[in-house]
Structure 1
Amino acid sequence: MKTDEIKIILDAFYNGETTVAEEFILLKYFSSEDVAEELLDEKGIFLSMYQAEPIDVPPALEPKLENLIDELASKEEKNTEIKTGLNRKHLLRWAGSAAACIALLISVTFYFNNKPDVNQPPVTPDQQTAENLSEADKKALKEAEDALILLSSNFNKGVNQLAIVTSSLDKSNEILNKTLNRKKDKES
């Protein structure tokens, strides 16, 4: 076979595009003594892939590997149990932080939307009653009140849902721990 044809098949082999028949052609070519000078390096590489010596595996290796795998699996289970507890704590912290941020955002928005005009004289406590407010101020006050009520109800719903999820996670963890303990007892 010509060297150019071998190079084409060899490129296809390195790209993973050869058939079994083409690989056999390469093996036959590189096993022969008539290999082109420019392909001698390729001959060593190719033949090392196909003529590897079998590796002796010690008989005691399998039980050691099984024990190592079991130890790693039990460590992973313990880490999963620890992470579940931490996740709940992080979730509660996150919910509290989110609620604080929302309350702060609403407060800042309310402050800047109802900031007194510098051209108006300051309002004394005697003058500041719901009856003395302008229609725009009454509307803004009502919108802020509605927004706070909506925030409060949604926050309460979220807290209730969080309590449900937390109790469900606790039940799932109990069942999982019981199952794992039974499995460990059976293996012992």
Structure 2
Amino acid sequence: MKTDEIKILLDAFYNGETSHEEELILLRYFESDNVAEELLGEKEIFLQLFQSEENIEVPPTLESKLEDLIDSLAEKDEKKKSRNKKHLWIWAVSAAACIAILFSVGLYFNNRPHESSILAGNEFQEKQELKDTFTDPDQAKKEAEKALLLVAANLNKGMNQLELVSNNIDKTNEILDKTFNRKNK
């Protein structure tokens, strides 16, 4: 076979355009002793592609290393999934808490009596003007103390309820942690 034809077949081979028969023609050509001098470099490359697999040595520890690598990648994937689930739960609980707070604030403002419905006409205008309500300072002091005690009592009640909610959230988080830890094992 002519050198030009071999070059054309080689180009087709490197481009992945040869048939099985054409590859056999190239193999027979390069295995023969009649290879053109300019194609000797190609002969070495081509014959290396078709060498038998008997010459390839596989290290004895390769299999165990690959198994360890696969196991470590699987562990990382599981940890990532569990972390994503945990973040999803935290986000969901946070969103639910925000919605509950907004709902509570909305109910508070919706259920309190409006000033415009209580005060009518001139009384509303009087409310707009700032006046001293007490002429006696001692009576004003007593009323201010009563108001502060009422605010303090309501604040304490709110703080107690907030502490209960915080404890319930902590218990919920503990349960969720236990649940996720069991699933991860």
With the length of structure 2 as denominator, give the TM-score of the two structures: 0.45
The higher radius of gyration belongs to: 2
Higher RCO (Cα < 8 Å, 6 or more apart): 2
With the length of structure 1 as denominator, give the TM-score of the two structures: 0.44
